[in-house]
Chains A and B, each alone.
Chain A
């Protein structure tokens, strides 16, 4: 079992903006160096790498630019936003089994200025695309809108519940100077008056479009105790590709509203001393507001169908039962395929978040709900 045998001891990131002028490669290098500097570890010590299959800066580029050691473990994880926690988890496994000693995970993406993947004239052929695109189901927002409408129907929830998520996360961003939306408040009236993107999802149910990069550094627990930052231990890790599921267009399994988080959570909690009631803060993948409600259910913070009700009464805000996405998440800090959720989970374990949950001893970090996914429980 992985439990606490590796820890994140460095985090780093670039500035976040709708448009940054430098390349994805240079952003990646900047974020990785910042993470290593934060850890007090030289690039020449790094011998493990993990990132996303969608990452444009490959291992060879990173290693030759930063003067890395002989790299003995390198891994890429698929499925976009489902991959983030798995990059960290796979590095932690590699460290725990002696396959590497200093691991770096990263994600660099110019999603703000680099174009929208769904608008590519020749999308990559996919089995599911043949059954959706000809009918005008084109964008991730449309795909998730169908699940959202069904969720509202089955649970009796309303757009007010989606607004709870958008507003709670925006308030986190308003306290975080790094967040793209730091200076922009969001009221319930503004939310309800916003333009539609794909009914029932409005503008504020959708994540930002951001240029930026982030990275983190992992070492064995024995070394972590001597590093300059308080370690965030990788306490538990799991991936989840549930039976018969399809990525994003998950309408063809028996129960589409019990998504990948359900399969992931079973193993995660089996390996964790912390159960949902013991976890005081979470970073839940928020490319769209309804994914947070589905993840609350999948990761067992409430029962099936009760995610919307859970969000009432400020439960997701600082001071509530489960503050989520305390840096502003993908909705209001930056959308970099969820990697900012990982770094923010580390800050919560260090006690250095701008929306710190006092005394938080564990934090759950999830990958994308709706794609084959992954999750971490970090502990202090």
Chain B
């Protein structure tokens, strides 16, 4: 899984997301003028383009907005896991803020452990970070009944 070319490359706008991830905290941007949460990170707030967004921690709770189950042909590290799930999670604080991730059955669990037939849109989930390298801790999601 740790093929370096598949790991996120930290860009100029997203450092605090990955710093938060290393602490186990889900962080997103917030518009300083409107208070709206903002994701993915960017240099300016689209609702107040003269201002830089600020970073805030959120609860890490949300619900599944959609999901897909990829099958081969796939790139090597993922082909071995297929079929696995990819979910889009809408955050509790603002469902218009969505993160792509994976549903796992337990912290550190594999991407293919959850039976795809059991996944439902609307299921409540909670973030758990998985360390895949010193710099990169990826958000995963577990059911939050």
Q: How far is the CA of A139 from the CA of B70 in the complex (A)?
A: 9
Residue of B nearest to A199 (CB): B69
Q: How far is the CA of A46 from the CA of B77 in the complex (A)?
A: 49
At the interface, yes or no: A313 with Cβ under 8 Å from chain B?
A: no
Q: Which of B11, B14, B68, B96 contacts A254 (CB 8 A)?
A: B96
Q: How close is A177's CB to chain B, nearest CB, in angstroms?
A: 30
At the interface, yes or no: B40 with Cβ under 8 Å from chain A?
A: yes
Interface residue tally for chain B (C-beta within 8 Å): 40
A125 adjacent to B71 (CB under 8 Å): no
**What residues on A are CB-neighbors of B73 within 8 Å?**
116, 119
**What residues on B are CB-neighbors of A138 within 8 Å?**
70, 74-75, 78
B96 adjacent to A131 (CB under 8 Å): no
**What residues on A are CB-neighbors of B138 within 8 Å?**
134-135
A132 adjacent to B68 (CB under 8 Å): no
Residues of A255-275 contacting chain B, CB below 8 A:
none
Interface residue tally for chain A (C-beta within 8 Å): 39
At the interface, yes or no: A244 with Cβ under 8 Å from chain B?
A: yes
Q: How close is A158's CB to chain B, nearest CB, in angstroms?
A: 14
Q: How close is B66's CB to chain A, nearest CB, in angstroms?
A: 4
Residues of A95-142 contacting chain B, CB below 8 A:
116, 119, 121-123, 125, 127-128, 130-139, 141-142
B100 adjacent to A121 (CB under 8 Å): no
**What residues on B are CB-neighbors of A75 within 8 Å?**
none
- Given A128-B40, A135-B138, A138-B74, the answer on whether A149 and B100 have CB atoms closer than 8 Å is no
B121 adjacent to A135 (CB under 8 Å): no
B88 adjacent to A146 (CB under 8 Å): yes
Residue of B nearest to A141 (CB): B70
Q: Which of A121, A136, A145, A195 contacts B5 (CB 8 A)?
A: A121
A residues lining the B interface (CB < 8 Å): 116, 119, 121-123, 125, 127-128, 130-139, 141-142, 145-147, 149-150, 153, 195-200, 243-244, 246, 249, 251-252, 254
